[in-house]
Amino acid sequence: MLTGTSLSSGMYLPYEIISEIFKYTLDARPLNEYSFCLNDKSEPRNLELISRWFERDVKRILREERPEIMRAIAAGALSRIALHWTGDMEKVGPQRDLFVKNVKSVTERCSHLALDLDDILACGAGYGLSATDIHHSITTILEVIRNQYQKDFPIQSFEFKAPAAVNFSSPGFFRASGHFETGFMRLFLELGDIAENARDQKIRFLLDLGGSGIKDDDIHDLTEMLGLNTIIIEKLDLSENSFSLQGITELVDLFKDKPVQSLYFRNFRSSNIGTLFDSLIQASRNINLGLLDISGSVLSDDAFTGLCALIGSNADIKRLNIKNCRINNMPGRERLSESIHINTHLRTLDLLEKPIDIGNHRHSFSLDDFIQKEAKLKVEGTKARQSVRQLA
């Protein structure tokens, strides 16, 4: 059994601490499967456990400036606090004061925060929370973060996961609940206020809006918020949504002025993804993308032509993920190789099982060669497994 692990130089954590930390990642199991869940909505106990956790072990981790771990801890703690909302907390009084105090017990100690609405919604029914309760709980948490001035841990990054429509009974939750009458506008306004209240401190935003049913009007509100000078876009995930040329055009206009470290458009319809390529080509001189991920988006011939034209325009895209886009079987797939010969920025291509490092082989790069090598390795692997079974 493991007894410990090293996360960074000079920092060694017991295994039991690591196992607790990774319970709080945004990709983990539903909250109701965790042993850390609190019983009987015991808010004082909630505050006591969170405070003890931070004072004993997490404070060391926070000082090490590991953003992904900080955000994981914050997401888990804030989700648990959100699920202990009661109707008494809607009005000013000791119950609301206690809720705010609980939120501050986390947010005032973290320079990297995260809030996972999808997680909260998935577990809310088990706690007897209505859409109204969840709405008030989430907006109160955002208001607390917006209004606080963090002296010891100024906010450096904020990760936000919107609820995926498929994960709750009302796909139009933000609109249908009667509390988000303007769609995502209220949420984007709150996030914008958090960034503006940072004063001279720039905040890195990691926004996961995948599958949330976002529309053109929401894109307008989103781009206005992300256009603030205090916001750095580290991640923007708009996968599995459906908006038109209007929304795509507004997004690309934003990308002209701001670099984006990671941009996700997974599982987009072919017509929309083609429009994205056309818009990015027009703005290629000003675009700076660390990662463009369109995996799972089935490309028509026209969309594939648009992708080749985008890469051939020498757009500044450092990593391109086109897994499961059916490019392997396209008869004209070598056109992409020709585009890669021209592009001086692209470093990594995700198409096969392993990432392809383009490196110094740009001018001799051949997609066919890589596809054939992978097919050969698969055949050899199958034969090797069959031989082992025969020997056994």
pLDDT digits (tens, 9 = 90+) for 307-333: 999 999 998 999 999 998 888 777 788
* Residue 255 in this model has a pLDDT that exceeds 80: yes
Half-sphere exposure of 377 (CA within 13 A, CB side): 9
One domain, residues 350 and 271: yes
Q: Which residue has the tokens 């609940």?
A: 177
Contact between 199 and 190 (Cβ < 8 Å)? no
Nearest-angstrom CA–CA distance, 226 and 230 = 9
Question: 182 and 253, same structural domain?
Answer: no
Return all residues near 265 (Cβ < 8 A) that are at least 6 apart: 238, 239, 273, 276, 292, 293, 294, 297
Phi, psi of 289 (to 5 degrees): -115, 130
Most confident of 109-113, 301-305, 356-360: 301-305
Yes or no: say if 350 and 266 are a contact pair by the CB < 8 Å rule: no
Residue 1 placed within a domain: no
- For residue 76, pLDDT beyond 50: yes
Most confident of 50-54, 290-294, 326-330: 290-294
Close Cβ partners of 46 (under 8 Å, ≥ 6 residues apart): 38, 80, 81, 84, 102
Between 230 and 48, residue with greater pLDDT = 230
Q: What is the per-residue pLDDT for 390?
A: 56
Residue of higher predicted confidence among 392 and 60: 60
Q: What is the pLDDT of residue 279?
A: 86
Same domain for 53 and 164, yes or no, is: yes
Domain housing 369 = 244-392
CATH code assigned at 261? 3.80.10
Of the pLDDT bands very low, low, confident and very high (cuts 50, 70, 90), residue 235 is very high
Based on the fold, state whether residues 145 and 69 are members of the same structural domain.
Answer: yes
- Structural domain contains residue 80: yes
Q: Which residues lie closer than 8 Å to 141 by C-beta, 6 or more apart?
A: 78, 81, 82, 103, 115
* Among 159, 172, 173, residue whose Cα is nearest residue 124: 173
pLDDT given for residue 224 in this prediction: 92
Query: Does 161 share its domain with 261?
Result: no
Residue 229 lies in a domain: no
When divided into structural domains, the chain yields a total of 2
Q: Note whether residue 57 is domain-resident.
A: yes
Together in a domain, 39 and 173? yes
Residue 188 falls inside a structural domain: yes
- Interaxial angle between packed helices 131-147 and 67-82, expressed in degrees from 0 to 180 and rounded to the nearest 10: 130
In a 10 Å sphere around its CB, with 0-12 CB exposed, 13-18 middle and 19+ buried, how is residue 277 labelled?
A: buried
**203-208 and 231-237 beta bridge pairing:** parallel
pLDDT of 348 reads: 93
Confidence of residue 69 (pLDDT cuts 50, 70, 90): confident
What is the Cα–Cα distance from 299 to 276, expressed in whole angstroms? Answer: 12
Let me know whether 161 and 300 are in one domain: no
**237 vs 261: CA distance, rounded Å:** 11
Q: What is the pLDDT of residue 54?
A: 56
Region of poorest pLDDT, from 5-14, 248-257, 270-279, 380-389: 5-14
pLDDT bracket for residue 136 (50, 70, 90)? confident
Minimum mean pLDDT range among 22-31, 161-170, 185-194, 297-306: 22-31
Q: How confident is the model at residue 207 (pLDDT cuts 50, 70, 90)?
A: very high
Using a pLDDT cut of 70, give the percent of the chain over it. 72
d(CA 344, CA 287): 14
| Amino acid 342: pLDDT | 92
- Would you say 255 and 283 are in contact if contact means Cβ atoms under 8 Å apart? yes
Q: Are residues 165 and 303 in the same domain?
A: no
Question: Residue 129: its pLDDT value, please?
Answer: 82
Average pLDDT on 21-29 reads 38
Choice between 153 and 130, residue whose per-residue pLDDT is larger: 130
pTM for this structure?
0.78
Asked whether residue 380 falls in the same domain as residue 253, the answer is yes
Count Cα neighbours of 356 within 13 Å in the Cβ-side half-sphere. 23
User: Are 221 and 188 in contact, with CB atoms under 8 Å apart?
Assistant: yes
Long-range Cβ contact pairs of 330-333 (< 8 A, separation 24 or more):
330/299, 330/301, 330/304, 332/301, 332/304, 333/367, 333/368, 333/371
| 122 and 265 belong to one structural domain | no
Whether 42 is covered by a domain: the verdict is yes
What pLDDT does residue 282 have? 84
User: Are the CB atoms for 69 and 113 separated by under 8 Å?
Assistant: no
pLDDT tens-digit series, residues 172-195: 444 444 444 445 777 888 888 888
* Residue after which a domain boundary falls, among 223, 257, 283: 223
The answer to whether residue 280 scores a pLDDT higher than 50 is: yes
Distance of alpha carbon 226 from alpha carbon 258, whole angstroms: 9
Average pLDDT over residues 151-160: 80
Q: Which of these, 92, 170, 98, lies nearest to 134 by C-alpha position? A: 170
211 within a domain of the structure (yes/no): no
Question: Distance (Å, rounded) from C-alpha 355 to C-alpha 219?
Answer: 31
Residues 186 and 249 in one domain: no
Residues 6+ apart with CB under 8 A from 229: none
Is residue 90 in some structural domain?
yes
- Identify whether residues 163 and 296 lie together within a single domain: no
